[in-house]
């Protein structure tokens, strides 16, 4: 996809200057004609990438729709107002297509289904409910808050990961520079005096030479590995999950994360007015972990057959006893939404706390490991220096 800037003439004979996203210049020309605009000039601007900025713009989009709906403005007029505001080119295209579909009698939810990378099945389900019951303001607000929470959680985790990642990258660069550019100098000095290098230094120089001469092979191996991981991403994720399940810390963290996802989706869909069985289906679809996803689907099927939610949850080891007990109380008191919101907040905070704690424990291990690696190279470098005087004098 490419971004084109264009100048066109509207059906009212007014000059329009804007941008459009299309597969080619010819496609852009046809799309402008479909929009009842006569293209005068179309210029290539840049390549379009669906980056994080465009995906995160969903929060702003649904916040604006919620605010406009609360003012009593209908959905079509709200989209017209958003279209006239400044938006990224990709979102201008989405809004324009939504307006065209609504004018033809289509639904907003069906329009959103065309871009599943932006509008997940859960978002589409919430929009469908909003269209059925007419509660646009409430449901758009729920979607915006749900997306904002996911964004904030991800941001906190990335902030916690920043220091370990920077530490590993800097250490790797430092080690490579020392191996490739510093250590080989000692070999030249010792060879000129007819002396051998210490074993540790010779070993590192051998590694350095191998990296210099055969660097194409590690790069090729990394490229093939990356391609294989991309090609068989789903299998790789499943294998990684199975491996991490053998590590207690990661197993508990994975469980907390999936519980957070499950109750987050259950809370949002219940607030939006979806039936419980549909809420459970949406919640199960958000889970990627194969074991936990299967457990959630079993719960949904049990509730469809007539079992209570607490009974179905009790039969699955995925859910802790506390969650099952609170859901049982919620069913008796008729306050299911309130208790599900509480469980979502509880597991969300617990997940963030566990993640930050785990990363803080990993940091000292990384520091010690990097210190051993860099220290070992430094020792290998200084061993020849200690004997340099004897080498020069010929002793």
pTM to 2 decimal places: 0.68
The distance between the two most distant Cα atoms of the chain, rounded to a whole number of Å, is 96
Assess contact for 107 and 124: CB atoms under 8 A.
Answer: no
Please give the helix or strand (H or E) that residue 51 lies within, else none: none
Contacts of 357 (CB under 8 A, 6+ apart): none
The domain that holds 318 is classified in CATH as: 1.20.81.30
Cβ burial of 194 (10 Å; 0-12, 13-18, 19+) is exposed
pLDDT digits (tens, 9 = 90+) for 117-173: 788 877 887 888 788 777 788 888 888 888 888 888 788 777 777 887 888 888 888
pLDDT digits (tens, 9 = 90+) for 5-41: 888 887 777 888 877 777 788 888 887 777 778 888 8
Least confident of 23-27, 45-49, 104-108, 188-192: 188-192
Q: Residues 218, 280: one domain?
A: yes
Q: Across residues 331-340, what is the average pLDDT?
A: 89
Q: Residues 230, 119: one domain?
A: no
The confidence score (pLDDT) of residue 2 equals 73
The confidence score (pLDDT) of residue 139 equals 85
Assess contact for 65 and 78: CB atoms under 8 A.
Answer: yes
Q: Residues 213, 136: one domain?
A: no
Q: Residues 343, 362: one domain?
A: yes
Q: Residues 135, 161: one domain?
A: no
The confidence score (pLDDT) of residue 301 equals 92
Domain span including residue 72: 52-149
Q: Residues 167, 300: one domain?
A: yes
Q: Where are the alpha helices (DSSP H) in the chain?
A: 25-34, 52-70, 75-84, 89-103, 108-112, 121-133, 136-177, 183-193, 199-213, 216-231, 233-244, 248-272, 276-286, 290-305, 309-314, 321-333, 336-386, 388-393
Q: Residues 99, 135: one domain?
A: yes
The confidence score (pLDDT) of residue 153 equals 78
Query: What is the distance between the alpha carbons of residues 242 and 220, in angstroms, rounded to a whole number?
Result: 28
Q: Residues 235, 306: one domain?
A: yes
SS3 20: strand
**Overall number of domains in the chain:** 3
Contacts of 136 (CB under 8 A, 6+ apart): 65, 66, 69, 75, 130
pLDDT digits (tens, 9 = 90+) for 261-296: 888 888 888 887 788 888 888 888 878 788 888 889
CB atoms within 10 A of CB 214: 11
Query: What is the distance between the alpha carbons of residues 123 and 386, in angstroms, rounded to a whole number?
Result: 68
Across the chain, mean pLDDT equals: 81
Q: Residues 181, 244: one domain?
A: yes
Q: How confident is the model at residue 388 (pLDDT cuts 50, 70, 90)?
A: low
Domain end (from 105, 123, 149)? 149
CB atoms within 10 A of CB 111: 19
Contacts of 154 (CB under 8 A, 6+ apart): none
Residue 325 per-residue DSSP state: H
The confidence score (pLDDT) of residue 97 equals 81
Residue 13 per-residue DSSP state: S
Q: Residues 123, 250: one domain?
A: no
The confidence score (pLDDT) of residue 299 equals 92
Nearest to 263 by CA among 176, 351, 353, 144: 351
Q: Residues 144, 154: one domain?
A: no
Q: Residues 17, 125: one domain?
A: no
């Amino acid at each position: 996809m490419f971004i084109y800037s264009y100048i066109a003439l509207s059906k009212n004979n007014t000059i329009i200057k804007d941008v459009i996203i299309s597969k080619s210049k010819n496609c852009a020309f046809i799309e402008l004609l479909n929009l009842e605009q006569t293209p005068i000039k179309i210029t290539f601007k840049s390549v379009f990438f669906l980056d994080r900025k465009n995906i995160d713009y969903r929060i702003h989009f649904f916040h604006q729709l919620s605010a406009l709906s609360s003012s009593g403005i209908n959905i079509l007029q709200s989209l017209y107002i958003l279209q006239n505001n400044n938006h990224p080119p990709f979102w201008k295209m989405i809004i324009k297509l939504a307006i065209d579909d609504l004018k033809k009698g289509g639904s907003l939810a069906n329009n959103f289904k065309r871009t599943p990378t932006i509008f997940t099945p859960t978002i589409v389900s919430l929009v469908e409910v909003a269209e059925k019951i007419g509660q646009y303001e409430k449901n758009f607000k729920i979607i915006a808050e749900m997306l904002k929470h996911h964004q904030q959680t991800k941001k906190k985790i990335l902030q916690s990961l920043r220091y370990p990642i920077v530490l590993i990258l800097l250490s790797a660069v430092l080690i490579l520079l020392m191996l490739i550019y510093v250590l080989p100098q000692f070999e030249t000095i010792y060879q000129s005096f007819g002396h051998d290098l210490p074993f540790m230094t010779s070993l590192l120089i051998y590694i350095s030479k191998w990296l210099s001469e055969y660097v194409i092979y590690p790069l090729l191996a990394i490229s093939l590995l990356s391609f294989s991981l991309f090609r068989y991403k789903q299998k790789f994720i499943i294998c990684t999950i199975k491996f991490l399940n053998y590590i207690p810390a990661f197993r508990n963290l994975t469980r907390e994360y999936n519980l957070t996802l499950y109750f987050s989706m259950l809370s949002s869909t219940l607030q939006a007015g979806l039936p419980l069985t549909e809420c459970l289906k949406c919640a199960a679809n958000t889970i990627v972990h194969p074991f936990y996803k299967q457990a959630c689907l079993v719960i949904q099927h049990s509730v469809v057959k007539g079992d209570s939610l607490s009974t179905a949850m009790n039969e699955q080891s995925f859910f802790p006893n506390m969650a099952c007990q609170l859901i049982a109380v919620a069913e008796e008191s008729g306050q299911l939404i309130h208790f599900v919101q509480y469980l979502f907040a509880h597991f969300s905070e617990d997940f963030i706390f566990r993640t930050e704690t785990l990363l803080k424990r990993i940091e000292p291990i990384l520091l010690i490991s990097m210190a051993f690696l860099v220290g070992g190279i430094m020792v290998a470098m200084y061993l020849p220096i200690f004997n340099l005087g004897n080498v020069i004098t010929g002793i």
